[in-house]
Structure 1
């Protein structure tokens, strides 16, 4: 991980006291990272392509909004930069479903920042893999549902067992050079259409 994008919509609103304290971009660049900064969506989009991780320096209540925007454009870890300014609303937002891959703060040493970024990257990509696997499982379950319905229809219509109906479906799919689920879906839809007409 080399290039980080710090998103800080409140940057121009900071008090003189906050401006005198180290900013996330100055701390992270002193740790050896290449830093981009943005205060609005318009500033974010041109910088997304080269970004390895997003650092959100904003109140907890805005994390979900920004995260949803960012992950639509790129899969990368999203971390929250926790400071007194960004944590002021955290107590009221504790019940919210806030999803971040890690939390950083100005008090962290460079080595701690490196490890948090490393682990957040792993967590982000493991979650992406899990989501893909979940989608595949849901897709298989949906296919299984159509095949089971078609087996039931064939079994009833032809007065055969479900295993014979399954073999018939498989043979038909091979003959038509289609996936079994596509043949099953066609059978179920034709059956439902015929049922609706009677």
Structure 2
């Protein structure tokens, strides 16, 4: 992880900042200065358009914004690409975020201006691990939800077959399985068709 996209409130003129509190940061406390000093390539953005363009080359996103803005930035940027999302917790950003500490905000790690090079390196390393573990968990959750949805359609179709054919659930399952094999379709697709046709017929009664 070498290329970091830093999003902050500073304007393109280094001296002026959108927020008076963040304006009080010395140059040596800024994420751009410290990260570059530790050997990272910093892609800096102060607006949505530039940040989205910079995402292509970014290995991680570092947000130097109040905590209540982290979620909207993360949602916008991570649509393009999955990378670790870290919050730069300067004294100014922390003081602006006190009211939002209980909010549901997903970040993969926190960086601070007081971190040494080694501390920052390890924070980024564990942030990267956290990001991809979260991604794996989300994928597993989607797969589980998909299987549950398929199970729902199959159970509904079995119930319909039991009712109209006067057969057991085991026999209804065999009917579905054989039909899926004959049509070279997934069982859930056959089940969905049966349920939808049955619902149409019921609506026409």
Q: Indicate whether the TM-score tops 0.5.
A: yes
**What root-mean-square deviation, in Å, do the aligned CA atoms of Structure 1 and Structure 2 show?**
1.3
Gaps of 5+ in 2: none
Q: Which of 92, 95, 104 pairs up with 2:99? A: 92
Return the alpha-carbon distance in structure 2 between the equivalents of residues 72 and 107 of structure 1: 31
Return the alpha-carbon distance in structure 2 between the equivalents of residues 187 and 87 of structure 1: 57
Return the alpha-carbon distance in structure 2 between the equivalents of residues 99 and 81 of structure 1: 14
Return the alpha-carbon distance in structure 2 between the equivalents of residues 129 and 22 of structure 1: 34
TM-score normalised by L of structure 1: 0.96
Return the alpha-carbon distance in structure 1 between the equivalents of residues 27 and 192 of structure 2: 65
Moved over 3 A (4+): 14-17
Matches within 5 A, 1:102-181: 102-181=109-188
Q: Is the 8 A contact 2:28 2:34 kept in 1?
A: no
SS at 2:43's partner residue?
A: strand
Q: Which of 64, 80, 89 pairs up with 2:71? A: 64
SS at 1:7's partner residue?
A: strand
TM-score normalised by L of structure 2: 0.92
List per-residue Cα deviations over 1:88-123 (Å, max 9, x = no partner).
Answer: 232210221111100000100000000000000010
Would you say how many aligned residue pairs link Structure 1 and Structure 2?
198
- The corresponding residue for 2:56 is 49
2:30 matched to 1:30? no
Return the alpha-carbon distance in structure 2 between the equivalents of residues 180 and 17 of structure 1: 64
Judge which range, 1-10 or 68-77, deviates more: 1-10
SS at 2:99's partner residue?
A: coil
Return the alpha-carbon distance in structure 1 between the equivalents of residues 27 and 158 of structure 2: 71
